[in-house]
Structure formats: C-alpha cells, structure tokens
C-alpha cells in the first residue's frame, strides 16, 4: 500500500471557539481510504537465440518508483462554531474548499516555524537534500528528491500567517496522464522537530492524473528500497482553508 496510489475521501472539520481562533492548519476529522492501486508490470518479453548470431535489441521498460507514494481524492467538510465539548452553536458547509493540504510523517503541533525545505542547509543541524535522500535511499536515482521537486515555480501556499510563493522546492503532478500546469506541490520543513512537510494546493474538481475530477493530488516520500520495501510509514494529514 505504501507505494501505490491511494484515493482518499476526506472530511475536514475546522472550528472556532469562544476563546480563540485557530489559523494554522488543522487535522482532518476523518480520513477514509477508498481504494489502493498499483501498476501491473505485465509479463517478461523474449527473443529467440540462435547459435552464432549477434542480435541488436531495442528495449523499453517501465519501473515502479521505490521512493514515492501518491495520494489523491476529494474533500468535503464544514466550518463550525463549537464549544470545548464539540457542541455547535452554528455551522457552515464547505462544498468547494480552497486552500492547501499538508502531509507529514509526524504530527505537528506548532506551525509558526514552518519554512521552505532547504536543499543546501547544514546537514548536521537540519535535514538537507543529501540527508533526506539518505533517509529515502534515493541518492543519484532518476526519481530522487531534487529530480522530482525540481523547480521553485509554484502557486501560493498558506500556512497560518505565512505565505510561500515561488520560493520552495516544487513540482506539479499530472493531468490526464501527462504534464500539467496545476496541482502544485511544495516541500516545507518544520525545523524544531526535523519534520519534512509536503504541501499541495487544492484544485476543486480539477481533472486529475486519471482524467477524472479530483480536489487534490500529492506525492510523499517513502523508502521502498531493499529491506525497507516491506515497511510502511504513517502520514498525518492537515488542511488550511483560504
């Protein structure tokens, strides 16, 4: 499951109490896996060998990534005016959410220090590109971190009072099986606890990679190399509405 594409239908609960307003990303109230998909590699191809012959072959391959998990799906939810017992004074349905969805392999309680992931950071203090590719065991691979997040051109990402535009390592996942100009995703970093954070823009009912409507698409890192291939990593999801 950890390296397949997962379809998630997500219910978001954003709330306001009589004491304070939460402006940072909030956890999802419910996260349901609707399907788990993985490419079939088909059968082995053959060529007849004849003693004394030399044969030139033109070969093409498709290999499943050992570094990335894909998530996509639809988002529904509401904004509520609740007390500490989750009793609602009023609520508002959010039928066309806009904003950002976040995923990290640890829970995040403080978003105030969030920053762009820095490929060239001091690796003895923070996680940099070299260190993260060691974690994912993908250094030098065609599907490595900087080969995937290879640009800094991206739509605005909102995190509490902070905004990031055209400054973080970024990529765009596909539309209809090909390159797109939407579904921006960036790499962020929470330095106090060394947490790599993936942030994707919500594109409400946009045509997705499989040519069907979806609200979001995102990649997250997962080491599927060697002895790590049978392991899984829990990712925690958050949302910030704009």
Q: What is the pLDDT of residue 132?
A: 98
pLDDT in the model for residue 19:
35
Instruction: Tell me, yes or no, whether 213 lies in a domain.
Output: yes
Does residue 172 belong to any structural domain of this protein? yes
Residue 56, domain member (yes or no): no
Instruction: Please state the domain count of the chain.
Output: 1
pLDDT the model gives residue 64 = 87
In a domain, 50, yes or no: no
Q: Is the pTM of this model over 0.95?
A: no
pLDDT of residue 233: 93
Query: Is 103 domain-assigned?
Result: yes
Can you give the residue range of the structural domain that contains 32? Answer: 5-37+64-241
Specify if 69 maps to a domain: yes
Give the chain's residues under pLDDT 50.
Answer: 1-4, 8, 12-22
Q: Which residues pair with 8 in a beta bridge?
A: 33, 73
Q: Is residue 51 part of a domain?
A: no
> Is 173 within a domain?
yes
């Amino acid at each position: 499951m950890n390296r397949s594409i997962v379809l998630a239908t997500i219910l978001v609960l954003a709330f306001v109490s009589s004491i304070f307003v939460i402006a940072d990303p909030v956890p999802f109230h419910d996260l349901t896996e609707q399907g788990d998909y993985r490419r079939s590699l088909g059968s082995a191809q053959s060529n007849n060998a004849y003693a004394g012959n030399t044969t030139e072959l033109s070969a093409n391959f498709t290999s499943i990534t050992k570094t990335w998990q894909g998530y996509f799906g639809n988002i529904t939810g509401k904004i509520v005016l609740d007390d500490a017992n989750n009793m609602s004074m009023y609520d508002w349905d959010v039928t066309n959410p806009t904003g950002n969805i976040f995923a990290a392999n640890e829970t995040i309680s403080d978003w105030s220090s969030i920053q762009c992931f820095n490929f060239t950071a001091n690796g003895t203090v923070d996680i940099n590109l070299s260190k993260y590719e060691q974690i994912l065991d993908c250094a030098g691979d065609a599907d490595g971190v900087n080969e995937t997040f290879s640009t800094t051109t991206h739509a605005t990402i909102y995190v509490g009072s902070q905004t990031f535009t055209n400054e973080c390592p970024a990529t765009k996942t596909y539309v209809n099986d090909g390159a797109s100009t939407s579904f921006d995703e960036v790499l962020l970093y929470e330095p106090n606890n060394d947490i790599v954070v993936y942030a994707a823009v919500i594109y409400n009912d946009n045509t997705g990679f499989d040519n069907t409507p979806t609200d979001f698409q995102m990649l997250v890192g997962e080491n599927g190399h060697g002895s790590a291939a049978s392991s899984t990593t829990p990712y925690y999801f958050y949302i910030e509405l704009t």
